[in-house]
Structure 1
C-alpha cells in the first residue's frame, strides 16, 4: 500500500451489490412461478369453486413464502441513524453519513452511506455482512474486515458482535438465531403436511397442522425476543447513538403465525359446526368417505355385502344318507335300531 502512495490501509472500493438479497430473490421467484402456474390453470375450474381454489392457493403460497423468507432475512432487528463520525483509521477527517444495522438469524448486515455520497473525493456507500451460521466464523470475518481497512463506523458496529466483545451480543443473538431458525424449519414442515392433508379427506388434521405451523412461528419469535429484550451496550457512532428495534421480518413472522393459528381454529370449529360447508369449500363431497364401499351389484369383490337372516332364502333340508344316519344314531344310543 505505501508503494502505491496510500498512507492508510483502506478498502479499495465498494463491492457491487444486488438491489435485493439473492436468497430472498430466489424464494420470491420460486413462489411467484408457482402462483403463475396455478393462475394459468384457473380457467379450467367451474363456478364458485374457482374463487375458493384461488383463495386457498394464494393463502398457502403466502404462508410458505413468508416462513422461508424470514428465515433467511437479515431484518429481524434494525436500526439507522445519521451522524458525523470519523471515516478512516488514524485519520482526523470526519464525514456525514447514515449508518444502518440489520440483525438476522444468521448474522448482521451493516450499511454506510454518505450524505452526500461523494465526500473526501471518494464514494461512501458500503454494505457489509458478518455471519455466525454453522460452519462459519464471525471472528475470522471480522479479522478479514480489519485487513481490508473498512471504514470506522462499520468496524465499530461489527466489533460489538464479536465473541470477545464485553457486550455479549454475539452469544445472545447467535443462540437465539439458531433456535429461531430451527423452529421456523419445523413450521415449514408443518406447512407442507398441512397442504398434503388438505388435499385428502382429513381436513380436520390439516387444521391441526396449520395450528402447529402458527405455534412454531410464535415460538421462533419468543426465542429471538429473549435475546433482543436483554440490555445492550450503547452503540456510539460519532455524535449519535444507534438504537435497534424489531424489524419487518419480526412483524411478518408475527402476522403469519397469527394468521395460521386463526385459520387452524376456524377449520377445527367449522369441522365440528358446519362440516358440509367445509368440505364444499375444499371441493370435497360430503359422502366421499362412503365411496370406497361397493356392493356386489356394483362389481365389488373385496367388500361383499352379507345378507341378513330375513333376506336369506328359505333353508333347504339336506337329507343325510342312511349310513351316516345309522352311524350317528349308534354313537348316541347304542341300543338304537332302525
Structure 2
C-alpha cells in the first residue's frame, strides 16, 4: 500500500503505547505496597534494631525491584537521532523526525516522533515493538508491519533485526537476551534466599547480575558494525539505563555480601580467642563427643599436688647400700 498507493502509511487500529510501562508499573506497585506494609509495622520494633531493619528492608526491596524490573526493561541498549528522512518507500516526501531505538532482553522497540508531530496531513507518532522471546516469531511480526504500512524509518530499523539480515543483529541480541534473562532470574532466586539468610546469597545475587551483564556486553562487542543510516544522519547505540542500573545493583550486592562474610569471620574469630576446646558429651548429637570451648576465665586454676614422703625418697641400688 505504501509503495503503490498515493496515501501515506497508517495503522489499521489505534497506536500502541510504550509496551513496558504497564509491566514496570505493576512491579513498582508491588514493591511499594511491601514497603508501606513494613512501615506500618515498624513502630513495633524497639531500640536500635529499628534502624537496622529499616536499612535491611529498604535495601532488600530495592535490589529485588531492580532485578525484576530490568529483566523486562527494553532500555539495555538505546539510541536516538533527529533527522530529515523519507516518510514512505519510493517517495521523495521527507519529514523532520526523531527516531529512537531501544533494545531489550526480549525484543526491540522503535519509536518515531515528528518535529512537529503534524506533518504531511499525518500524525507522525509511531511505536513498534517486536519480540524474539521463546515462542515469538520476529520475522512474522515484521511481515505484519509491512502489511500495515508503517513509516519507512520504522521498517528500515526493524528490517536490520530480522533473522535473514546480513547485519546479524538478531542472532547476537537474541542469544544474549536469553542468557542474560536466565541469569537475572537466578539472581532473583538468590535475592529471595538472601531475605532469609542475609549472607552468602547476597554475594551470589551480585555475581549473577554481573554475569548477565557479561553476556550482554559480549553480544554488543561481537556484533559486526552495521551502520543505521536514516536520511542524512546515522543512529548509534550505546548502553542504556537498564545496563547501568543493573551494574550498580550488582556491585552493591557484591560489596554487601563481602561485608557480611568479613563480619561473620571476625565474629567467629573473636568468639574463639582465649577459649580452650573441651570434649563434652552431647546427647542431642547422638551421644558423640563434640568439642566445646571454655574461656580461660572459667578454666580451673592449676593446683600444686605435693609429693608424698615415700615417693620423695629415691631408692638406692644394692651395691650403693652395701657400701654404706
Q: Which residue of 2 aligns with 1:216?
A: 208
Following superposition, the deviation at residue 303 of structure 1 comes to: 9.6
Q: Which residue of 1 aligns with 2:144?
A: 144
Deviation string 1:240-267 (CA, Å, 9 cap, x unpaired) is 0000000000001100100000000000
CA contact (8 A) 1:113 1:126 kept: yes
Aligned-CA RMSD value: 2.5
CA contact (8 A) 1:14 1:126 kept: no
Query: Structure 1, unaligned stretches of length 5 or more?
Result: 199-206, 278-294, 296-300, 306-338
Alignment of 1:179-198 (within 5 A): 179-198=179-198
Deviation string 1:205-238 (CA, Å, 9 cap, x unpaired) is xx21111110000000000001111332100111
Distance between the aligned counterparts of 2:73 and 2:188, measured in 1?
15
Q: Which residue of 2 aligns with 1:22?
A: 22
Which range moves more in the overlay, 152-161 or 40-49?
40-49
Following superposition, the deviation at residue 30 of structure 1 comes to: 0.5
Alignment of 1:207-246 (within 5 A): 207-230=199-222, 231-246=224-239
Following superposition, the deviation at residue 90 of structure 1 comes to: 2.8
Query: Structure 2, unaligned stretches of length 5 or more?
Result: 271-281, 288-324
Distance between the aligned counterparts of 1:35 and 1:76, measured in 2?
27
Q: Which residue of 2 aligns with 1:103?
A: 103
Distance between the aligned counterparts of 1:95 and 1:63, measured in 2?
43
Q: Which residue of 2 aligns with 1:129?
A: 129
SS at match of 1:171: helix
**TM-aligned CA distance change 1:302 to 1:241, over 3 Å:** closer
CA contact (8 A) 2:210 2:247 kept: yes
**TM-aligned CA distance change 1:246 to 1:92, over 3 Å:** same
Q: Which residue of 1 aligns with 2:60?
A: 60
Length-normalised TM-score, structure 2: 0.79
Distance between the aligned counterparts of 1:20 and 1:107, measured in 2?
11
Question: Which is richer in strand?
Answer: 2
**TM-aligned CA distance change 1:304 to 1:165, over 3 Å:** closer
**TM-aligned CA distance change 1:71 to 1:117, over 3 Å:** same
SS at match of 1:84: strand
Following superposition, the deviation at residue 302 of structure 1 comes to: 7.7
Q: Which residue of 1 aligns with 2:320?
A: none
Following superposition, the deviation at residue 66 of structure 1 comes to: 0.4
Alignment of 1:68-79 (within 5 A): 68-79=68-79
SS at match of 1:101: strand
SS at match of 1:229: helix
**TM-aligned CA distance change 1:239 to 1:78, over 3 Å:** same
Q: Which residue of 1 aligns with 2:257?
A: 264
Distance between the aligned counterparts of 1:18 and 1:101, measured in 2?
12
Following superposition, the deviation at residue 121 of structure 1 comes to: 1.4
**TM-aligned CA distance change 1:275 to 1:22, over 3 Å:** farther
